[in-house]
Amino acid sequence: MHHRRVSVRPSHLAHLVANEKRDRQAALDHAEVVARLQARLKAALDAEGVALQARQALEQELSGVRERLLASQQEATRYRAEAQTVQDLVNRLAATASRPKGTRRKAAA
């Protein structure tokens, strides 16, 4: 096999070396940018995970608060009904007590 010798002028060689150096620096800069972006992505994903856990905890807490509120509202409704029943009884007793003695109905014998 016959190898052909290529001659390169010194100015071309300097130009090739400069291009190679520039390409290597660009590759290093690119790798650094990619590494920074990957780190930022990991931090963002970690923060998202923490936020999702916090959201789930808050949703569970909110559900518990809603259940307690519903129970309190039902209890308040029951107390209002009982209070109304007692008030009605008091009103009937007061009306019966305020009638003159002769107008009271007698119990059947």
- Whether residue 1 is contained in a domain is answered as no
pLDDT tens string 59-100: 999 999 999 999 999 999 999 999 999 999 999 999 888 877
Q: What is the pLDDT of residue 64?
A: 98
- Whether residue 67 is contained in a domain is answered as yes
- Return d(Cα 24, Cα 13) in angstroms, integer: 16
SS3 per residue for 75-101: HHHHHHHHHHHHHHHHHHHHHHHHCCH
- Whether residue 103 is contained in a domain is answered as no
Range of the domain at 43: 11-97
Contact status, residue 96 vs residue 104, Cβ threshold 8 Å: yes
Q: Number of folded domains in the chain?
A: 1
Give yes or no for residue 108 having a pLDDT over 60: no
- Whether residue 20 is contained in a domain is answered as yes
Q: Which long-range contacts (CB under 8 A, 24 or more apart) does 77-81 make?
A: none
- Is pTM beyond 0.75? Reply is no
- Whether residue 5 is contained in a domain is answered as no
- Whether residue 82 is contained in a domain is answered as yes
- Whether residue 109 is contained in a domain is answered as no
- Whether residue 33 is contained in a domain is answered as yes
